[in-house]
């Protein structure tokens, strides 16, 4: 039918068109169906929403994502995209072929799937899982639509942690160690989604993190490494879109997770990747068997892609380091690089660097590189190359002025420090948006404490956010203290 | 944080609020997260969308579904609704408790779930199925939020077909038979969603179909029956909302289907229901075993609800009756009631009426009621009570003027008449919106045909729609003609 189109902005990222109910009935289309819109010989596909308030009969509201469409247009009912059929196939628990997965990925990338279809895709992958073949196809399809960085070197190192452990700021220590060992390591990291700081947020305390592919090449050429925000380069445009359907139900389907990580590493030109899967209460993976399985999945899919993936698992049932929040984590990083700082963070970074260098077949001593100050020098080179102050000191990294210390209300032993609660505390305090907000942990699991001992200190930039965080700390129990007897057996 | 709210209309049915990206970052919220909005001591929950174009930093765009919110408001990050957790539980293939299902149903009813969550719910139920207990809880929860019609009679009959068979207009024949037998049968039907006519669309050719609960009570008091559109009464408000997430992938999860049907029957006050499950190529259920299983599921869930459900299966691999489309089906109905008309439609209506009357323990002869003209009289009474002309004749029911006859291009035998293609043809011709559009089938499966014999005739109200339908008829093969030999074994 012929309608008169005019532009309307409803703030959607999809190629939505708005139809009056009467016209939708005449066309025989329902909400979220597709229509084909033809004008001057060109056709586009729109996703239907119905509204009698915003558009009158005879008119078509065209959102900007569809391109500029004005005036008389011919509108007909268009078929569903093929990818919708493949999503249904996944919900039927049938294995998807490579071209079917590619069709889904391309339609997600081009915003051709509506929220219902995108969510059904994530739900299907979550509920029914993916075979190694499917995950490999998905990784390849996701890599195909991303930007690529290429290197002349036969060995390009990389590292990934699946996250979930507060304060686990290993990369800013590991990357300089590996770079100082003479191995290129173009590390891209994420910003926080639900945590108080991603590695990119922590690095932003020191220097810029948003660079183009060309700039990344220059930084790495100069320093062997970089510590940049992956979101500034389009290594995985699909990943950013899928998160919309993962976030509401906190779904993180394994096949999707592996494909997201490895497609980015593939696009970054990495050949050797160590993948760290922390496990334990309060982390993303509950048990060690599950962690080993996931780590192995990474390795197998890496194999299919011709990428050397070294799987690693680590205890993740308490935070790593003392500081939580961008500035407080930056302090830990700088301290460790200077030969001081939290022992657990230093050990973990050195161990993962050792594993990665070994995997790359490079004869270098990670601990020695750190102790000798070569890692610190490499870090300062990277900071300088990324536009920061290479002479930064701990005195420059000042946490928020609003502070509250939380003390043990009984004597005993620390039995658990909960990653999720600690992260939630850090966010309440204002991190990552307020760089100086967060907390420092004074105790680790197994530490003896007396009533009145400091458990942790919260830092904020405003009094009201400090209050919010302290309210949560009083209500919940981020650091669990029990008697020695209670620690032996927990009632549930 | 404090924001200045102002109303904005983006045509959504959800309580959406629009945030500028900077404010969303400050609040730490992502698209589809919830925020709590407090003003003058009252709080509401909004679902977040981000747009830098429509709202400036410091302002909050409030859609009308949220109620009237203007001026300074306090906005904080609100937790996800509990129902989101239960949806995830279903995706984990864990059985849901009654109160968990109730929470999901109530949140859907109140538009508190976004498209991603709604779709994940449908996907989870589709992929992982529902136990009898879950389906029973779902039926009860859906019935709780619907309007109820109550009757003094101990026996109130009803009938449902799961659909998928073109032209299958049994209800307008069965209802008058049952009503004439002295049993109340307050039948509500649907309009077409993807077919060329629902029973409500066909009845609308004769009379009104949109009535309130009070009017339905009056019609049934007068005539023992009614044939009205269920959508005009709020028997199942949730059903209409779930369809939004079922439509894009054509999902129709069994548990949801059973709960939708039986909750409506429960709200309509029915005590005895015959459920017809057609099976076969081109219908909704492929095989007879699957059909029997589904029919049994209906019976078992009915049992739990204290409702007598009689399961029935029927061959559904070709359309029933000759006409497809509102007016053409109305002609079949009137002809059968007058003792003429398509034999298959007459037989099926009589048989289902027999089964239902038997189930109701009523000693009545359905065939005799039809043959004697008592069913026709009852039908005309219902038409009159619903505001139509009780003296309507076939001559009043004129199909569209634009006509095209499709002939066999070879001699042989009809091996298949495809419900889906026939329905698609009817829709292309303009049905159900154009009441007089559709087609009449001249041949049934197993009929011998010679090249040049009429297979079917398409009717439309406009030449362009006729053209569209004929183009599809030429391209596809709604009526399959094969040689006797080919009919024995089909190459695939």
A476 touches chain B (CB under 8 A): no
- Output the pLDDT for position B276: 96
Together in a domain, B352 and B449: no
d(CA A129, CA A254) in angstroms, rounded, equals: 7
A28 touches chain B (CB under 8 A): yes
* Interface list for A 176-205 with B (CB within 8 A): 193
Q: Convert the pLDDT of each residue in B295-352 to its tens digit.
A: 999 999 999 999 999 999 999 989 999 999 999 999 999 999 999 999 999 999 999 9
Nearest to A80 among B61, B193, B248 (CB): B248
Residues of chain B found within 8 Å of residue A49, distances taken between Cβ atoms: 11-12
DSSP 8-state symbol, A472: H
Residues of chain B found within 8 Å of residue A243, distances taken between Cβ atoms: 30
Where does a domain end: B78, B96, B116? B78
Query: Per the CB < 8 Å rule, is A126 touching B91?
Result: yes
What residue of A is the nearest CA neighbor of B18? Answer: A11
d(CA A208, CA A219) in angstroms, rounded, equals: 12
* Count of domains observed in chain A: 4
DSSP 8-state symbol, B64: G
Q: Convert the pLDDT of each residue in B271-304 to its tens digit.
A: 999 999 999 888 889 889 999 999 999 999 999 9
Comparing CA positions, the residue from B384, B362, B381, B363 lying closest to residue B373 is B381
Phi/psi of residue A181, nearest 5 degrees = -80, 0
Where does a domain end: B78, B98, B116? B78
Nearest to B11 among A32, A51, A123 (CB): A51
Together in a domain, A64 and A97: no
Residue spans of alpha helices (H) in A387-453: 419-428
Given a contact cutoff of 8 angstroms between Cβ atoms, the answer to whether A309 and A136 are in contact is no
ipTM of the complex: 0.91
What residue of B is the nearest CA neighbor of A79? Answer: B248
- Output the pLDDT for position A65: 84
Phi/psi of residue B392, nearest 5 degrees = -55, 140
- Output the pLDDT for position A194: 84
Together in a domain, B169 and B244: yes
Query: Per the CB < 8 Å rule, is A88 touching B117?
Result: no
Residues of chain B found within 8 Å of residue A92, distances taken between Cβ atoms: 127
Quick count: other Cβ atoms within 10 Å of Cβ B299? 15
What residue of A is the nearest CA neighbor of B23? Answer: A433
Residue B393 lies inside a defined structural domain of this protein: no
Four-residue CA torsion sign, B463, B469, B474, B479: negative
| Three-class secondary structure of residue B463 per DSSP | helix
Nearest to B127 among A53, A128, A433 (CB): A128
Q: What is the distance in angstroms between the Cα of A370 and the nearest Cα belonging to chain B?
A: 36
Q: What is the 3-state secondary structure (H, E, C) of B260-301?
A: HHHHHHHHCCCCEEEEEEEECCCCCECCHHHHHHHHHHHHHH
One DSSP character per residue, B129-184 reads: ---HHHHHHHHHHHHHTS-----S-S-BEEEEE----TT---HHHHHHHHHHTT-B
Q: Around B417, how many Cα atoms within 13 Å sit in the side-chain half-sphere?
A: 29
A247 touches chain B (CB under 8 A): yes
d(CA A170, CA A353) in angstroms, rounded, equals: 9
Residue B142 lies inside a defined structural domain of this protein: no
Given a contact cutoff of 8 angstroms between Cβ atoms, the answer to whether B159 and B273 are in contact is yes
Query: Per the CB < 8 Å rule, is B116 touching A118?
Result: yes
Together in a domain, B271 and B241: yes
CATH code for position A446:
3.90.1170.30
Verify whether residue B252 is a known catalytic residue. Answer: yes
A127 touches chain B (CB under 8 A): yes
Residues of chain A found within 8 Å of residue B114, distances taken between Cβ atoms: 115, 248
d(CA B280, CA A36) in angstroms, rounded, equals: 33
Residue A475 lies inside a defined structural domain of this protein: yes
Strands (E) in A181-243, as ranges, are 185-189, 225-229
Domain span including residue A349: 157-234+252-385
Residues of chain A found within 8 Å of residue B115, distances taken between Cβ atoms: 114-116, 119
Residues of chain B found within 8 Å of residue A124, distances taken between Cβ atoms: 123, 127
Residue B138 lies inside a defined structural domain of this protein: no
Comparing CA positions, the residue from A199, A340, A169, A360 lying closest to residue A271 is A360
Nearest to A9 among B31, B54, B245 (CB): B54
DSSP 8-state symbol, B45: E
B11 touches chain A (CB under 8 A): yes
d(CA B301, CA B143) in angstroms, rounded, equals: 14
Given a contact cutoff of 8 angstroms between Cβ atoms, the answer to whether A184 and A216 are in contact is no
Q: What is the distance in angstroms between the Cα of B27 and the nearest Cα belonging to chain A?
A: 9
Q: What is the distance in angstroms between the Cα of B90 and the nearest Cα belonging to chain A?
A: 9
Phi/psi of residue B207, nearest 5 degrees = -165, 180
Nearest to A247 among B18, B30, B245 (CB): B30
Please, is B469 exposed, middle or buried when counting C-beta atoms within 10 Å of its C-beta (0-12, 13-18, 19+)? buried
Together in a domain, B31 and B115: no
Query: Per the CB < 8 Å rule, is B116 touching A244?
Result: yes
Catalytic member of A111, A115, A132, A252:
A252
Together in a domain, A174 and A32: no
Together in a domain, B257 and B352: yes
First to last CA, chain A: 64
Residue A135 lies inside a defined structural domain of this protein: no
Angle between helices A254-267 and A237-246 (to 10 degrees): 160
pLDDT in tens, chain A (492 residues): 999 999 988 888 899 999 999 999 889 899 999 999 999 888 999 999 999 889 999 999 998 888 888 899 999 999 999 999 999 999 999 999 999 999 999 999 999 999 999 999 999 999 999 999 999 999 999 999 999 999 999 999 999 999 889 999 999 999 999 999 999 999 999 999 889 999 999 999 999 999 999 999 999 999 999 999 998 998 889 998 999 999 999 999 999 999 999 999 999 999 999 999 999 888 889 889 999 999 999 999 999 999 999 999 999 989 999 999 999 999 999 999 999 999 999 999 999 999 999 999 999 999 999 999 999 999 999 999 999 999 999 999 999 999 999 999 999 999 999 999 999 999 999 999 999 999 999 999 999 999 999 999 999 999 999 999 999 999 999 999 999 888 888 777
d(CA A103, CA A87) in angstroms, rounded, equals: 10
Strands (E) in A203-243, as ranges, are 225-229
Q: Convert the pLDDT of each residue in A449-465 to its tens digit.
A: 999 999 999 999 999 99
Tokens standing for B125?
């139920």
d(CA B239, CA B139) in angstroms, rounded, equals: 11
Tokens standing for A64?
């900007």
Q: Which residue stretches of chain B have pLDDT < 70?
A: none
Helix and strand element counts for chain A (H, E): 18, 18
Together in a domain, B181 and B280: yes
- Output the pLDDT for position B284: 87
Q: What is the distance in angstroms between the Cα of B268 and the nearest Cα belonging to chain A?
A: 27
CATH code for position A321:
3.40.1030.10
Residue A244 lies inside a defined structural domain of this protein: no
Given a contact cutoff of 8 angstroms between Cβ atoms, the answer to whether A177 and A349 are in contact is yes
Residue A394 lies inside a defined structural domain of this protein: no
d(CA B232, CA B242) in angstroms, rounded, equals: 17
Together in a domain, A74 and A99: no
Residue B194 lies inside a defined structural domain of this protein: yes
CATH code for position B42:
2.40.40.20
Catalytic member of B115, B132, B252, B447:
B252
| Residue A121 Cα to chain centre, angstroms | 19
Together in a domain, A9 and A36: yes
Q: What is the distance in angstroms between the Cα of B351 and the nearest Cα belonging to chain A?
A: 33
Please, is A191 exposed, middle or buried when counting C-beta atoms within 10 Å of its C-beta (0-12, 13-18, 19+)? buried
Given a contact cutoff of 8 angstroms between Cβ atoms, the answer to whether A310 and A356 are in contact is yes
* Interface list for B 325-384 with A (CB within 8 A): none
Residues of chain A found within 8 Å of residue B49, distances taken between Cβ atoms: 11-12
Quick count: other Cβ atoms within 10 Å of Cβ B389? 12
Query: Per the CB < 8 Å rule, is B123 touching A123?
Result: yes
Together in a domain, A452 and A337: no
d(CA B63, CA B69) in angstroms, rounded, equals: 9
Together in a domain, A374 and A263: yes
Contacts of B328 (CB under 8 A, 6+ apart): B322, B399, B438, B439, B440, B459
- Output the pLDDT for position A193: 83
Backbone φ/ψ region at A35: left (φ over 0), alpha (ψ -120 to 50), beta: beta
B94 touches chain A (CB under 8 A): no
Query: Per the CB < 8 Å rule, is A248 touching B117?
Result: yes
The size of the A-B interface in CB pairs under 8 A is 141
Selected for mutation to probe chain A from B11, B89, B438 (highest A CB count within 10 Å) is B11
What residue of B is the nearest CA neighbor of A252? Answer: B88
User: Which residues on neighbouring strands pair with residue A324, listed in sequence order?
Assistant: A439
Where does a domain end: B358, B385, B412? B385
Selected for mutation to probe chain A from B89, B191, B248, B435 (highest A CB count within 10 Å) is B248
Contacts of A189 (CB under 8 A, 6+ apart): A171, A198, A199, A200, A203, A209, A227, A228, A229, A230
* Interface list for A 60-89 with B (CB within 8 A): 61, 80, 84, 87-88
């Amino acid at each position: 039918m012929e309608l008169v189109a005019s532009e309307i902005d409803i703030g959607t990222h999809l190629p939505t068109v708005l139809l009056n109910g009467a016209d939708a009935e005449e066309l025989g289309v329902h909400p979220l169906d597709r229509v084909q819109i033809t004008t001057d010989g060109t056709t586009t596909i729109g996703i239907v929403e119905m509204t009698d308030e915003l558009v009158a009969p005879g008119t078509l509201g065209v959102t900007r994502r569809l391109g500029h469409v004005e005036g008389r247009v011919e509108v007909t009912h268009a078929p569903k995209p093929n990818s919708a059929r493949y999503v249904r196939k996944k919900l039927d628990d049938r294995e998807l072929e490579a071209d079917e997965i590619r069709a889904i990925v391309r339609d997600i990338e081009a915003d051709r799937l509506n929220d219902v279809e995108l969510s059904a895709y994530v739900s299907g992958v979550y509920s029914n899982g993916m075979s190694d073949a499917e995950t490999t196809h998905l990784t390849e399809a996701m890599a195909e639509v991303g930007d690529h960085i290429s290197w002349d070197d036969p060995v390009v190192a990389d590292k990934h942690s699946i996250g979930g452990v507060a304060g686990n700021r290993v990369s800013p220590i590991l990357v300089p160690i590996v770079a100082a060992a003479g191995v290129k390591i173009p590390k891209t990291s994420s910003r926080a989604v639900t945590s108080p700081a991603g590695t990119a947020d922590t690095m932003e305390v020191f220097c810029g993190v948003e660079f183009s592919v060309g700039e990344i090449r220059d930084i790495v050429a100069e320093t062997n490494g970089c510590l940049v925000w992956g979101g500034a380069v389009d290594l995985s445009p699909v990943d950013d879109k899928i998160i919309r359907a993962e976030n509401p139900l906190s779904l993180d389907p394994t096949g999707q997770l592996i494909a997201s990580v490895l497609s980015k590493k593939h696009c970054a030109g990495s050949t050797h990747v160590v993948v760290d899967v922390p496990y334990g209460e309060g982390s993303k993976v509950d048990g060690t068997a599950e962690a080993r399985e996931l780590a192995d999945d990474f390795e197998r899919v890496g194999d299919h892609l011709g990428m050397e993936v070294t799987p690693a698992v680590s205890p993740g049932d308490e935070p790593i380091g003392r500081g939580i929040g961008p500035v407080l984590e930056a302090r830990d990083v700088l301290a460790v690089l200077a030969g001081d700082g939290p022992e657990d963070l230093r050990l973990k970074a050195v161990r993962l660097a050792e594993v990665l260098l070994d995997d790359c077949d490079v004869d270098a001593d990670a601990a020695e590189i750190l102790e000798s100050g070569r890692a610190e020098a490499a870090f300062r080179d990277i900071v300088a190359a990324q536009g920061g102050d290479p002479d930064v000191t701990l005195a420059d990294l000042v946490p928020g002025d609003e502070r509250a210390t939380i003390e043990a209300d009984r004597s005993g032993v620390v039995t658990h420090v909960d990653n999720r609660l600690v992260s939630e505390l850090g966010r309440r305090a204002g991190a990552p948006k307020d760089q100086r907000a967060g907390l420092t942990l004074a105790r680790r699991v197994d530490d003896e404490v007396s009533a009145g001992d400091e458990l942790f200190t919260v830092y904020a930039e405003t009094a009201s956010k400090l209050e919010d965080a302290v309210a949560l700390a009083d209500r919940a129990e981020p650091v669990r203290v029990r008697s020695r007897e209670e620690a032996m057996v927990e009632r549930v």
